[in-house]
Homo-oligomer: A and B are copies of this chain.
Amino acid sequence: MRSALRVFRDILREKGLKFTKQREALAKKIFSTRSHFSAQDIYESLKDKVQISRATVYRTLNLLVENHIIEEHDFGKGKKFYEFILGLESHNHLICLKCGKIEEFKSDLIEKVVDEIARDRNFRVSRYSFNVYGYCSECQEELFKNERKR
């Protein structure tokens, strides 16, 4: 399978867009990161290595989203999170309301539910998001400790 970087490069060429130092650095960073990150995270981790601006980070992230190389998530924290998805199976998220940790999980049943509702309502699905909010096991322990202190 072609590397993600190669895919990105091909898309750029195809559309007459340019493969710049900034796009290369950002893409490499993202393709080697197996987690959820914000625009700010990316900017922070690149700004000392390449000359890059926040504006370029936002523009490039949007470019990657439009081309389905990364996915945008809204976990209700007032900012967007992104995640590399090219060639990966889709999955869902468990978001801890205390520590902010994001775990992933898969479920074939969910796929079925989506297919079913799409058929029922004659809805053409492009994507879906299934987020479960609550407390991860570590944070539950914390909460329990604090409760005993009182």
Using a CB–CB cutoff of 8 Å, the interface residues on chain A facing chain B are 72, 74-76, 94, 97, 103, 105, 107, 109-110, 112-114, 117-118, 120-137, 140
List the B side residues contacting A118 at CB < 8 Å: 132, 134
Contact of A126 among B120, B128, B134 (CB under 8 A): B134
- Can you tell how many copies of this chain the complex includes? 2
- A123 x B137 contact (CB < 8 A): yes
Contacts of A114 in B (CB 8 A): 132
CB-based closest 8 A-B pairs:
A122-B137, A125-B134, A128-B132, A124-B135, A74-B74, A126-B134, A74-B76, A130-B130
Cα distance, A134 to B112, chains bound together (Å): 16
